Amino acid sequence: MNISFLIHTFWLAIKAIPMTLLITGASVLIGLPLGFLLAWIKIKKIKILYPLTIIYTSLMRATPMVLLILLFYSTLPSLLNVILNRHLHLEIKIFDVNPAIYAIAVFALIAVANLSEVFRSAILTVDPGQQEAAVMVGLSPLQTYYRIIVPQALVSAIPNIGNLTLNILKGTSLAFMMTVQEVTAVAKTAAAYTYDYTEAYIDIFIVYFILGAILQLGFKFLERYLSRHKVRGTARQGA
């Protein structure tokens, strides 16, 4: 066991954490509003959009993450190059685009599909009678969703949002296939010079374990906070 390499590579992996968190955070933030929109389309069963949403969600959730990354990164740049440069003559250097952007796009697509199901199930847990009561007191459908439906649905959705965020965080370890310099890529690159791959994998494990533990604690705290807020709000309404 090369202890000096283990320690040195650990600090290199630590420096790559911001890229890992950027991909994770950006993907989830993009996925939250779009996932809610798709959930609303599913619940309302809007014509034309509903079947397209179902197909998209099923496709994204059924396809292995690693396959989506390989297909996306090997196909999209070439496709954009043909459309933008050859046909539209825009002369954009597609292949010079930071690969982190492609990584965010892939994980955001995955997040949108999964969050749509999370929000759909969470919204359906809200008592329909509350929506009817909101309409009776003069609230518009938008106000009803904003003031009544969404706050309660979020409380129910937080655990699943946390699980999805954790899965995306772990999934970012595959972004090295897109040449993104995140934790896994940095550690494996360092090991390529000395062949100390065991030490590199230990470093990767430790970093992701720490990040995952912090993330789970954060979502547990948020869930407890929102649950207490919901209980207090219900008590006030009862009073």
Q: Which two tokens stand for residue 73?
A: 């990164």
**C-alpha to C-alpha distances, 55 to 3, 38, 51, nearest whole angstrom:** 50, 12, 6
Nearest residue to 110 (alpha-carbon basis) of 142, 76, 66, 46? 66
Secondary structure (DSSP) of 40-68: HHHHHT-TTHHHHHHHHHHHHHHS-HHHH
pLDDT tens for the chain, 239 residues long, are: 778 888 888 898 999 999 999 999 999 999 999 999 999 899 888 888 999 999 999 999 888 888 888 888 878 777 877 887 777 767 777 777 788 888 999 999 999 999 999 999 888 888 777 777 777 877 777 777 777 777 788 888 888 999 999 999 999 988 888 888 889 888 888 888 888 888 889 999 999 999 999 999 999 988 888 776 554 544 444 44
Query: Domain segments of the chain: what residues?
Result: 3-238
Torsion angle, CA of 148/149/155/158, rounded to 10 degrees?
A: -150
Region label for 93, one of left (φ > 0), alpha (ψ between -120 and 50) or beta (otherwise): beta
Predicted local confidence at residue 229, as pLDDT: 53
Region label for 92, one of left (φ > 0), alpha (ψ between -120 and 50) or beta (otherwise): beta
**C-alpha to C-alpha distances, 212 to 103, 188, 208, 228, nearest whole angstrom:** 19, 20, 6, 24
Cα–Cα distance measured from residue 178 to residue 102, given in angstroms and rounded to the nearest whole number: 8
Predicted local confidence at residue 230, as pLDDT: 58
Out of 1.10.3720.10, 3.20.20.150, 3.40.1710.10, 3.40.640.10, the CATH code matching 3-238 is 1.10.3720.10
Q: Which amino acid is at 90?
A: L
Are 28 and 17 in contact, with CB atoms under 8 Å apart?
A: no
Are 110 and 175 in contact, with CB atoms under 8 Å apart?
A: no
Predicted local confidence at residue 154, as pLDDT: 82
Predicted local confidence at residue 231, as pLDDT: 46
**C-alpha to C-alpha distances, 18 to 27, 107, 109, nearest whole angstrom:** 14, 16, 21
Q: Which amino acid is at 203?
A: D
Nearest residue to 212 (alpha-carbon basis) of 35, 31, 21? 21
Torsion angle, CA of 184/66/106/51, rounded to 10 degrees?
A: -160
